[in-house]
Every structure is written in C-alpha cells, then in structure tokens.
Amino acid sequence: MQPDLLDRVQIAHALQQFRRRSPLVHCMTNDVVQTFTANVLLALGASPAMVIDSEEAPQFSAIADALLINVGTLTRERATAMRSAVESANAAHKPWTLDPVAVGALTLRTEFCQQLLALRPAAIRGNASEILALAGMSAGGRGVDTTDTASAALPAAQALARQSGAIVAVSGEVDYITDGSRMLMVTGGDVLMTRVVGTGCALSAVVAASCALPGDKLENVAAACAFMAQAGSLACAKSTGPGSFVPAFLDALYALGGKA
C-alpha cells in the first residue's frame, strides 16, 4: 500500500475545526510531560485537564470531549484509574487515545496496554518500536527511544489498526497514519524535536483532541501530526538548541494558519 500525502487544504480545514470546537481533553499522561502537554493543547486552542484520581478520573472522562491514556509513568494504582476512565469514556461515547510509552520490554505496561486494546481505542500513537511491540512483532525499543524506522512498522500498524479498530499513527522521520486499509503520511519536523522531553507525548494529546472533531477520523489524526510537524519545522528554523526550541515551538503552534 502506498501512503498518500495529507494536503494543505485538509490540514487547514482540520485546524479550523480544532480551534472552533476547542475540545476539552482529559490527559491521563505521565508526570514528566504534563505541563508541556497542557501548553501544547492551549497553544493550539484546545482545553487540557489532568485528572488522575481513581474516583474523579471516570467522572471527568464522561464530561470531557476526549481522553488520553499515556503509560509513561504507569503504576498499578494509576492503571486502575486509567481503566475506569476508559470504561467511563466508552459508556459516554467519548473517544480515547492510547500512547503505549516504552511498551515491549516492561511487563506491567505491556500487559496493561494489551488489555486496553479490547476496550477499543479511537487512536493509538507511538513510535515505531512501540507499535511493533504492541502488535506483538518485536520486543520494543530502548526505553522510550525507538530502535526502528517508522516505515519498518507499517505492517504492524496496519495489523494493529485492523485488530483494534483504531487509527494508528506511527511517529518518526515521516509520520504514517492508517486505519488498516488506507494510509496517509505527514512529512516535516526536525531531529531537534527529539532533544526535548514531551513532543511525542504532546502529539498524542493533540491526536486525542482530533478524535473529537467531526469528519474523517483518519484525516483528523493525520492533521494532528501535521500541526506538530509544521510547528516543529518553523521552531527549529528559529532555534539554536533545545532551550530556545520549546518557546519557539509553542509560539509556532499558536500562529499556525496565520491566526490563533
């Protein structure tokens, strides 16, 4: 299957919808990236909330427009809260997105994410090694870092999409997004984006938000990848290193489309 390149008209339309609707995103994400993730969503026009208590999380996931499950700093207690939130989101017909951080080598997160697949995520976003591991085709990468190229994970992404019913986005030098039969690709970004913490996790939050938008879910998830890639390219052109990249990246997200 040859992937199609998402065009500018599709990206612009998705961005317009994103800002008009300002989705409320319930982010059950890892402790390292909460502030950055919230700032990325705010810069794009969404509304973030980080509710992790086991009693409050399922209440809030029924209220929010979308839910993100990121297992970066997973504990058994947090896994219980996450599962309850997912079940509540499903009952309320709210989409949820899985970010299987470092799945493969570590038992707790690998078993937990495999169990969550049965609860039908709207989207799954990970790097190549994570997608390969989640699909049962490899042992995972080096911690949170991929040891595989995005293109190498395409068969796994397609199989995972067909198995789970989710849109699967593989991040890398090129982003590939598939529903198991169709495939889109997004180019752009810069290697500097891998030298600051949280760009992948924040992308998963933007993917979660995009799943709450009307229209073609595959195109909406691909557009979320394009927002981040475009902003990354713009920010890297103005940055001298990781320290100057983060504020430039947030500014670029805010300015996408010429109007925030």
Query: What is the residue extent of each domain of the chain?
Result: 4-254
**Does the annotation list 198 as a binding residue?**
yes
Q: Is 232 annotated as a binding residue?
A: no
CATH number listed for the domain at residues 4-254: 3.40.1190.20
Q: What is the pTM of this model?
A: 0.94
* Residues 164-188 pLDDT 10s: 999 999 999 899 999 999 999 999 8
Q: Is 78 marked as a binding-site residue? A: no
Local confidence band at 260 (pLDDT 50, 70, 90 cut-offs): very low
DSSP codes, the chain: -PPEEPPHHHHHHHHHHHHHH--EEEEE--TTTHHHHHHHHHHHT-EEE----TTHHHHHHHHSSEEEEE-TT--HHHHHHHHHHHHHHHHTT--EEEE-TTBTTBHHHHHHHHHHGGG--SEEEEEHHHHHHHTTSS---BTTB-SS-TGGGHHHHHHHHHHH--EEEEESSSEEEESSS-EEEE----GGGGGSTTHHHHHHHHHHHHTTSSS-HHHHHHHHHHHHHHHHHHHHHH-SSHHHHHHHHHHHHHHGGG--
Per-residue model confidence as pLDDT tens digits over 52-94: 999 999 999 999 999 999 999 999 999 999 999 999 999 999 9
